[in-house]
Amino acid sequence: MYADDRGDMGFLESMIAAMAVILVLTAFLGLAVGAAGITSDPTEGLDPDRITGEIVDGEFIPAFQDYIERYLGSRGLSGASVTVTVPGGFCEATGPFVIGSTDGSPWSRSVTSVIGCDGGREVLAVFEVVLCARATADSSPWSTPCCSSSS
Protein backbone atom coordinates (compact mmCIF):
# COMPACT_ATOMS: atom_id res chain seq x y z
CA MET A 1 0.00 0.00 0.00
CA TYR A 2 2.65 2.45 -1.04
CA ALA A 3 1.82 5.47 -3.11
CA ASP A 4 3.76 6.14 -6.28
CA ASP A 5 5.46 9.46 -7.01
CA ARG A 6 2.10 11.05 -7.99
CA GLY A 7 0.38 10.01 -4.69
CA ASP A 8 -1.80 7.41 -6.39
CA MET A 9 -2.42 4.39 -4.16
CA GLY A 10 -3.94 2.17 -6.78
CA PHE A 11 -7.30 0.57 -7.11
CA LEU A 12 -7.10 -2.12 -4.40
CA GLU A 13 -5.75 0.23 -1.77
CA SER A 14 -8.38 2.87 -2.50
CA MET A 15 -11.13 0.22 -2.24
CA ILE A 16 -9.83 -0.80 1.20
CA ALA A 17 -9.85 2.84 2.30
CA ALA A 18 -13.41 3.33 1.01
CA MET A 19 -14.60 0.19 2.82
CA ALA A 20 -13.05 1.45 6.06
CA VAL A 21 -14.89 4.77 5.74
CA ILE A 22 -18.18 2.98 5.01
CA LEU A 23 -17.68 0.69 8.00
CA VAL A 24 -17.04 3.62 10.36
CA LEU A 25 -20.09 5.54 9.05
CA THR A 26 -22.30 2.46 9.43
CA ALA A 27 -21.17 2.00 13.03
CA PHE A 28 -21.79 5.70 13.75
CA LEU A 29 -25.32 5.62 12.31
CA GLY A 30 -26.10 2.42 14.20
CA LEU A 31 -25.03 3.99 17.48
CA ALA A 32 -26.89 7.23 16.72
CA VAL A 33 -30.15 5.36 16.05
CA GLY A 34 -29.69 3.19 19.13
CA ALA A 35 -29.05 6.21 21.33
CA ALA A 36 -32.13 7.98 19.96
CA GLY A 37 -34.31 5.52 21.87
CA ILE A 38 -36.45 4.43 18.95
CA THR A 39 -39.03 1.97 20.20
CA SER A 40 -41.79 -0.03 18.64
CA ASP A 41 -45.26 1.44 18.37
CA PRO A 42 -47.42 0.04 21.21
CA THR A 43 -50.58 0.62 19.16
CA GLU A 44 -49.55 -2.02 16.61
CA GLY A 45 -51.15 -4.82 18.62
CA LEU A 46 -54.57 -3.21 19.04
CA ASP A 47 -57.37 -5.49 17.89
CA PRO A 48 -59.90 -3.32 15.99
CA ASP A 49 -62.62 -5.94 16.52
CA ARG A 50 -62.36 -5.47 20.31
CA ILE A 51 -62.75 -1.67 20.21
CA THR A 52 -66.48 -1.31 19.82
CA GLY A 53 -69.72 -0.21 21.44
CA GLU A 54 -73.34 0.47 20.62
CA ILE A 55 -75.78 3.35 20.40
CA VAL A 56 -78.85 3.11 22.64
CA ASP A 57 -81.39 5.96 22.63
CA GLY A 58 -78.90 8.26 20.88
CA GLU A 59 -76.19 7.67 23.48
CA PHE A 60 -72.95 5.77 22.84
CA ILE A 61 -72.34 2.87 25.24
CA PRO A 62 -68.68 1.76 25.13
CA ALA A 63 -67.74 -1.93 25.19
CA PHE A 64 -63.96 -1.62 25.09
CA GLN A 65 -62.92 -0.66 28.65
CA ASP A 66 -62.02 -4.19 29.81
CA TYR A 67 -60.04 -4.87 26.65
CA ILE A 68 -58.12 -1.58 26.90
CA GLU A 69 -57.33 -2.19 30.60
CA ARG A 70 -55.92 -5.65 29.85
CA TYR A 71 -54.02 -4.27 26.85
CA LEU A 72 -52.44 -1.51 28.96
CA GLY A 73 -51.34 -4.05 31.57
CA SER A 74 -49.84 -6.41 29.00
CA ARG A 75 -47.85 -3.63 27.31
CA GLY A 76 -46.74 -1.80 30.45
CA LEU A 77 -48.57 1.40 29.51
CA SER A 78 -49.92 3.87 32.04
CA GLY A 79 -53.23 4.87 30.47
CA ALA A 80 -55.39 5.51 27.45
CA SER A 81 -57.94 7.92 26.09
CA VAL A 82 -60.55 6.91 23.53
CA THR A 83 -62.67 9.41 21.61
CA VAL A 84 -65.56 8.14 19.48
CA THR A 85 -67.01 9.87 16.43
CA VAL A 86 -70.10 8.53 14.69
CA PRO A 87 -70.75 10.28 11.36
CA GLY A 88 -74.30 10.83 10.22
CA GLY A 89 -75.78 12.40 13.35
CA PHE A 90 -76.64 9.12 15.10
CA CYS A 91 -74.99 10.45 18.27
CA GLU A 92 -72.65 13.26 19.23
CA ALA A 93 -68.90 12.78 19.42
CA THR A 94 -68.26 11.15 22.76
CA GLY A 95 -65.32 10.96 25.03
CA PRO A 96 -62.67 11.04 25.81
CA PHE A 97 -63.08 7.86 27.81
CA VAL A 98 -59.97 7.95 30.01
CA ILE A 99 -58.57 4.74 31.46
CA GLY A 100 -55.63 4.87 33.88
CA SER A 101 -53.07 7.66 34.18
CA THR A 102 -52.62 9.96 31.22
CA ASP A 103 -49.07 11.11 31.92
CA GLY A 104 -46.30 10.06 29.56
CA SER A 105 -45.50 9.85 25.89
CA PRO A 106 -48.53 9.60 23.57
CA TRP A 107 -49.07 7.02 20.84
CA SER A 108 -52.17 7.45 18.70
CA ARG A 109 -54.14 5.22 16.34
CA SER A 110 -57.48 5.64 14.57
CA VAL A 111 -59.66 2.54 14.37
CA THR A 112 -62.90 2.21 12.43
CA SER A 113 -65.56 -0.21 13.50
CA VAL A 114 -69.16 -1.07 12.70
CA ILE A 115 -71.37 -0.62 15.77
CA GLY A 116 -75.00 -1.41 16.50
CA CYS A 117 -77.57 1.35 16.65
CA ASP A 118 -81.23 1.68 17.61
CA GLY A 119 -83.64 -0.29 15.43
CA GLY A 120 -81.10 -2.98 14.47
CA ARG A 121 -79.18 -0.59 12.24
CA GLU A 122 -75.38 -0.79 11.96
CA VAL A 123 -73.30 2.38 11.54
CA LEU A 124 -69.64 3.19 11.14
CA ALA A 125 -67.73 4.67 14.10
CA VAL A 126 -64.23 6.14 14.26
CA PHE A 127 -62.30 5.49 17.48
CA GLU A 128 -59.26 7.68 18.18
CA VAL A 129 -57.18 5.68 20.66
CA VAL A 130 -54.31 7.46 22.44
CA LEU A 131 -52.07 5.20 24.53
CA CYS A 132 -49.78 6.80 27.10
CA ALA A 133 -46.39 5.31 27.95
CA ARG A 134 -45.25 5.44 31.55
CA ALA A 135 -43.52 8.69 32.47
CA THR A 136 -39.96 8.19 33.65
CA ALA A 137 -37.71 10.34 35.81
CA ASP A 138 -35.47 11.11 32.84
CA SER A 139 -38.29 12.07 30.47
CA SER A 140 -37.74 15.09 28.31
CA PRO A 141 -38.57 18.53 29.74
CA TRP A 142 -40.98 19.32 26.90
CA SER A 143 -43.18 16.24 27.41
CA THR A 144 -46.74 16.96 28.48
CA PRO A 145 -49.60 14.78 29.61
CA CYS A 146 -50.67 12.92 26.51
CA CYS A 147 -54.37 12.69 27.04
CA SER A 148 -55.17 15.96 28.74
CA SER A 149 -58.32 17.59 27.52
CA SER A 150 -58.82 21.34 27.42
CA SER A 151 -62.32 22.25 28.49
Range of the domain at 92: 43-133
| Structure confidence by residue, pLDDT tens digits, 82-92 | 999 888 877 77
What confidence score (pLDDT) does residue 58 get?
A: 80
* Residues 121 and 56 placed together within one structural domain of the fold: yes
| Structure confidence by residue, pLDDT tens digits, 35-55 | 766 567 788 888 888 988 888
Structural domain contains residue 151: no
What confidence score (pLDDT) does residue 128 get?
A: 92
* Residues 76 and 118 placed together within one structural domain of the fold: yes
* Residues 30 and 85 placed together within one structural domain of the fold: no
SS (HEC) of the chain: CCCCCCCCCCHHHHHHHHHHHHHHHHHHHHHHHHHCCCCCCHHHHCCHHHCCEEEECCEEEECCHHHHHHHHHHHCEEEEEEEEECCCCCCCCEEEEEEECCCCCEEEEEEEEEEECHHHCEEEEEEEEEEEECCCCCCCCCCCCCCCCCC
* Residues 84 and 53 placed together within one structural domain of the fold: yes
| Structure confidence by residue, pLDDT tens digits, 98-137 | 988 878 788 889 999 898 888 788 888 899 999 988 765 4
